[in-house]
A and B are shown apart, each in its own frame.
Chain A
Amino acid sequence: MVTWLGARSYKMATLKYTYLETNSDNKKIYAKIDTDGNSYSSCSEDNEEFKEWKENGGTVEGEPE
């Protein structure tokens, strides 16, 4: 089994996240969009990788006001 993970690490600069929904815990859920346009993971607003991405200036698409 060979997998290419190079574009699926937080060190890659061109990831983006899109808002999906708010769950029953009132946590926002996001899809992480890879450079190929596909989503290989989704996360809550508590996810460390997501929070680090936001702290580094990332802007979520579709975030409700």
Chain B
Amino acid sequence: MGAITRAFANNLIERAGPVRPNSKPIIINGDMAVAQRSTSVTGHNAVSYTTVDRFKTVCEVGTYTVTQESLTSGAAYLAGFKNALRLDCTTAEATAGSAGDQTTVEQRIEGFNLQAFKKGTASAEKYTLAFWVKSNKTGSNLQVNLRDSDNSRQIGGTYDISVADTWEHKVINFAADTTGAFNDDNGLSLTIEWFLDGGSNYSGGAVDTTWGANDNTDRNVTNFDLAGSTDNDWAITGVQLEVGEYSSTTLPPFQFESFEENRDRCYRYYYRLTPTTGFRYAGFGQVDNDDNVIVGITWFKTHMRVAPSALEQSGTASHYRVREATTTTCDAVPTFTNADTWYAATSFKKSGITSSNGYAQGELLKVGIDGGYMAWSAEL
């Protein structure tokens, strides 16, 4: 046996055991490593993306501090996870204020990334969802649902939190669905929702162990009541969704990506520029003909899912500047001009830019940020 053949054979032996499919993970940022918006948000009682990318925190029952928690010990840490998404209840709400209120964590997935499930065909595949979870509060039958937006169908699964304040690994199987294909497009097709608290609209039914038409009463059959006490917290990491049915022993290993690969995939949904220090450029712009605007162009690192339709910024005009030979501070916050999936145009504001500041119409300037940020969203 030649050296190369022997090395190949040894490699095969070393790889014996569960082998993951040869593709990118379906879940984006499942290790919670990327948090472009913030690492900690307090007073969260709303529906928005808060900290770690791609995980939406729907917090209508109770108020929370949401964090990208750094892990330094525990079973999830030993499995390779250095970060988690954590919700700490800071204002309790013993009974949901509205029957339709819910507290859930979601990942929303576009149809392009789901075709391997062959949903809606005779060859439809099963689903396996795995994750690490930890809470101060033990409980049985916590619910996690898969919700198909293209066909208004859903299925549920349950897990227990057996030991308080201890990372536990959960592997949940979901049936295949021969009804209702996922659209092969960039729209929302599947939402994974971890139900943590909810009003009466979401209980009273039974957990759907097979796919069926949407029924809110089946989504939170046993309420975990995360908002029941300010003592409560819940954390999750290591989320993976696999095509097929796996057990805890046959589950393919979590597919760790490099930080850059992971972040680049997040950029398809949210792209934020935050200078690491001082004044940094965000693109080039030209002085417009109205004496108070410089339209700057920023190129996205990757194509976004859809063209963004809004610009987020810090709310402070002095964080934004334009420069040719000297740096000029803007006198209003920048505003959205237009965008496509590969770029955004932004209006930087400076009154008298031509009449009083010495710039000519059409003059090329650099546009930048000092202390603030600019961000564009194409989230689902």
Chain A, interface size category, equals 20 to 34
User: Is the beta-carbon distance between B315 and A44 smaller than 8 angstroms?
Assistant: no
| Chain A residues with CB below 8 A from B63, complex form | 6
Quick check: is B311 within 8 A (CB to CB) of the other chain? yes
User: Is the beta-carbon distance between A43 and B311 smaller than 8 angstroms?
Assistant: yes
| Chain B residues with CB below 8 A from A38, complex form | 315
| Chain B residues with CB below 8 A from A48, complex form | 309
User: Is the beta-carbon distance between A41 and B44 smaller than 8 angstroms?
Assistant: no
Interface residues of A: mostly helix, strand, loop or mixed? mixed
Give min CB distance, A16 to chain B, whole Å.
15
Taken residue by residue from 5 to 21, chain A's Cβ proximity to chain B (1 for < 8 Å, 0 otherwise) reads as 11011111000000010
Q: With A and B bound together, what is the CA distance between A46 and B307 in angstroms?
A: 10
Given the contacts A43-B310, A47-B310, A1 and B39 also touching, CB distance less than 8 Å: yes
| Chain B residues with CB below 8 A from A10, complex form | 46-48
B221-229, B245-253, B331-339 - the one binding chain A = B331-339
User: Is the beta-carbon distance between A6 and B313 smaller than 8 angstroms?
Assistant: no
User: Is the beta-carbon distance between B335 and A31 smaller than 8 angstroms?
Assistant: yes
User: Is the beta-carbon distance between B42 and A2 smaller than 8 angstroms?
Assistant: yes
Quick check: is B45 within 8 A (CB to CB) of the other chain? yes
Give min CB distance, B191 to chain A, whole Å.
16
User: Is the beta-carbon distance between B333 and A2 smaller than 8 angstroms?
Assistant: no
Which one of B38, B45, B47, B337 lies within 8 Å of A23 (CB-CB)? Answer: B337
Question: Beyond A5-B37, A12-B46, A29-B335: 7 further Cβ-contacts under 8 Å?
Answer: A1-B39, A3-B41, A10-B48, A24-B338, A29-B336, A39-B315, A49-B310
Interchain residue pairs with CB less than 8 A apart (12):
A2-B42, A3-B37, A5-B37, A8-B46, A9-B47, A27-B338, A38-B315, A39-B315, A39-B333, A41-B312, A42-B335, A44-B309
The residues of B with any CB-CB pair to A shorter than 8 Å are: 37-48, 50, 60, 63, 309-315, 333, 335-338
Top 6 nearest A-B pairs by Cβ distance? A9-B46, A43-B310, A42-B335, A47-B309, A3-B38, A38-B315
